[in-house]
Amino acid sequence: GGLAFNAYALPGTEELAANAQDSFRAGAQTVLMVRHGAVIVGKSREEAFERALLLEELCRRACQGLPEHPPAENEALARRLIACATRAFGFAIAQSSPAALACAARRKALPALLDDAAQMIGRNIPAARADEKSVLRALRRRAVVLVPGVGALCRAENAGDAEALRMLAHKACVSALHTG
């Protein structure tokens, strides 16, 4: 059917309504309204709901920060570094999402863009070379480190804390890809 994108108009104004109506008349069945959200129509409630689910899936994919050509994960290296970090710190886990791999491939520290990441990880996620000595040195200073070919390596005292850090690392990487 089509997707339309409407310019911003103040809430509750005739301009906002007219913009959406113009888009629907032009054949759109989903209208994205800047700073307001989406309006979706269908021949039935079920059809409109299916379109809403499709829009949600498309947005979810876009918000994952997936690069066009994600770097290949080095599974053997990841296993070796996880084992090394587990011996040193008690528990380790890797976040090897495409977003984490893309951020690690930059080989630069990732500044904290979100409050929860800053509180749990620190003001940045450092980058380390992909060798045990560099990774352990970085993990002594921070609970999460970016490693090329691996993504984000997280260390903690237990599996629950490591999983929380893994999710935060993913969220931080997605945010970084979307902001610059």
% residues pLDDT > 70 (the chain)? 92
pLDDT at position 1 = 58
Give 143-174 pLDDT, tens digit per residue. 999 999 999 999 999 999 999 999 999 988 88
**Alpha helix segments (H runs only) across 32-141:** 45-63, 75-89, 98-105, 115-120, 132-141
Please name the amino acid found at residue 148. P
Confidence of residue 92 (pLDDT cuts 50, 70, 90): very high
pLDDT at position 67 = 57
pLDDT at position 65 = 56
Average pLDDT of the chain is 87
Do 162 and 154 touch, CB atoms closer than 8 A?
A: yes
Asked if residue 132 has pLDDT above 70, the reply is: yes
The CA dihedral of 61, 114, 180, 164, to the nearest 10 degrees, is: -50
pTM: 0.64
Asked if residue 87 has pLDDT above 90, the reply is: yes
Confidence of residue 175 (pLDDT cuts 50, 70, 90): confident
Confidence of residue 118 (pLDDT cuts 50, 70, 90): confident
